[in-house]
Chains A and B, each alone.
Chain A
């Protein structure tokens, strides 16, 4: 079982709604990630937080707004989304630091988002 917990598992929202996806890990990891995955495609990186600071924003539209309240929590605030934003949103975490085989990234089960 994954040690990265995401809520909600399923979310349906209208284009004018404001909602949030939440992610929590208690492995002491200092790097956390949001990925987006469309059907039959690999996950695409959206954001990376390292030591609670935003390290990477992969040119994600501003209607997606990440937040890292503390080292265990990562949120993704959603506002004015489009139907094409419907996808599986995956949260992940890893020990911060240089790359190496020990620095495994662990994924949560994902939040299935449908924008109507």
Chain B
């Protein structure tokens, strides 16, 4: 079993749609949680950190449930520019951050 598992995708949605991505992690020692976005042939870029209390950044809302070891990302009012691969990431630390990536979920927003 992979340490971080995500919805397989791809998600094809029209502009304006709301889309939700789910992610589960298996290691209860995981300490930090993130969503990264990666455009085609580009580097991963941090979209947002994920907190137990939930956090929102504009059209994006992230949730963490430590008891269920579950992370989610909700995108409201999808834009064409949201088309990318969304990577669920958890970390374990020890003087550094070891990022463990999920396989990613591809989102394609169409007109």
Residues of chain A whose beta carbon lies under 8 Å from any beta carbon of chain B: 2, 31, 33, 41-45, 48, 50-51, 55-56, 88, 90, 92, 94, 96-101, 103-110
Contact = CB atoms under 8 A, between A and B. Distances in A.
Given A55-B95, A101-B49, 7 more contacts: A31-B95, A41-B103, A42-B102, A43-B99, A45-B98, A96-B95, A103-B32
A92 B75 CA distance: 27
A43 B32 contact: no
Main secondary structure of the interface of B (DSSP, over half): strand
Given A31-B97, A108-B43, A109-B43, A99 B92 contact: yes
Contacts of B49: 101, 104
Given A42-B104, A107-B43, A48 B31 contact: no
Interface in B27-67: 31-32, 34, 41-46, 49, 51
A109 B42 CA distance: 6
Interface of B: 31-32, 34, 41-46, 49, 51, 87, 91-99, 101-104
B102 A48 contact: no
9 contacts: A33-B99, A42-B102, A48-B98, A56-B96, A88-B41, A90-B43, A106-B46, A107-B44, A110-B42
B101 A99 contact: no
B43 A110 contact: yes
